[in-house]
Amino acid sequence: MTTTTRRYAAAAAALAVAAFAGAVALGASPDVRATCTKDPKVTQGATVVSFDVHCSVPLAAAATVTVTATPTDTPAEPSPSGSPSSTVSTSPWSTPSSSSTSTPSPSATGAAGLPTEASVGTTGSLTKRAGGTLPAGTYANVEFTSAVRLDAAGVTLRNVKAPAVTMYGTGRYVLDRVDTGGVFVDSYYNAIDGVTMTGVRVRGSDGDGIDIFSNARFQISNVVIDGLIADGFTFPSGSDAHGDGIQVRGVTNLAIRNAIVDMGPWQPQKNAALYLEDVGQGIRGVTVDNVRLAGGGYTFYTAPARAASTLRNVSIFRSGNWGPVLVEGNKAGWTFTNVTGPAGQQLTP
Q: Measuring CA to CA, how many Å separate 265 from each of 26, 78, 79, 231, 319?
A: 35, 38, 40, 11, 11
Give residue 205's pLDDT.
84
What does the pLDDT read at residue 53?
47
Q: How many residues does the chain have?
A: 349
pTM of the model: 0.73
User: For residue 343, what are the contacts with CB-CB under 8 A and spacing of at least 6?
Assistant: none
Query: 205-227 pLDDT, tens per residue?
Result: 889 999 999 999 999 999 999 99
Rg of the chain, C-alpha, whole Å: 19
Tell me, what's the pLDDT at 112?
A: 75
The pLDDT of residue 149: 98
Spatial distance between the Cα atoms of 101 and 263, rounded to a whole number of angstroms? 23
How confident is the model at residue 244, as a pLDDT? 97
pLDDT of residue 145: 98
- Give the integer Cα–Cα distance in Å for 223 and 292: 19
CA–CA distance, 107 with 91 (Å, rounded to integer): 33
Residue 237 has a pLDDT of 87
Question: What's the CA gap between 115 and 270, in Å, rounded?
Answer: 23
State residue 322's pLDDT score.
96
Q: Which helix (H) or strand (E) holds 20?
A: helix 10-20
Q: What confidence score (pLDDT) does residue 335 get? A: 97
Distances (CA, A) of 269 to 93, 237, 241, 321, 348: 33, 9, 6, 11, 26
Task: Tell me which residues of the chain have a pLDDT lower than 70.
Answer: 1-111
Domain ranges of the chain: 2-56, 70-340
- What is the predicted pLDDT for the residue at 105? 32
210, 242 Cβ separation under 8 angstroms: no
